């Protein structure tokens, strides 16, 4: 997985490169980056664990929910 910016890094760089953006717009952009990364991680985990999924739907749910740790959002 690629390294994502922390909230502070993203805020600082966006404020410098786009001083006209509102705080809400900056927060939305940051959230989109992490949602996209979370979805990509879930697909990657699903592909890796595909053999277990068909046998256990609860495993699929937990696999998806745990694919992108909240600790990745800083």
Whether the per-residue pLDDT at 58 is higher than 70: the answer is yes
- Whole-number pLDDT of residue 7: 93
Residue 64 CB coordination number (10 Å): 18
Mean pLDDT over all residues of the chain? 83
The angle formed by the CA atoms of residues 17, 23 and 24, to the nearest 5 degrees, is 120
Whether 37 contacts 4, CB under 8 Å: yes
Band of pLDDT at residue 52, cut at 50, 70 and 90: low
Nearest to 63 by CA among 74, 71, 51, 72: 51
- Find how far residue 23's CA is from the centre of its chain: 20
Q: What is the pLDDT of residues 8-44, one digit of tens each?
A: 999 999 999 999 999 999 999 999 998 888 888 888 8
Supply the pTM of this predicted model: 0.69
């Amino acid at each position: 997985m690629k390294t994502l910016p922390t909230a502070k890094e993203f805020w600082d760089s966006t404020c410098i490169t786009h001083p006209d953006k509102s705080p809400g717009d900056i927060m939305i952009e940051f959230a989109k980056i992490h949602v996209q990364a979370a979805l990509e991680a879930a697909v990657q985990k699903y592909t890796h664990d595909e053999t277990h999924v068909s046998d256990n739907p609860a495993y699929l749910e937990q696999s998806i929910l745990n694919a992108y740790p909240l600790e990745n959002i800083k």
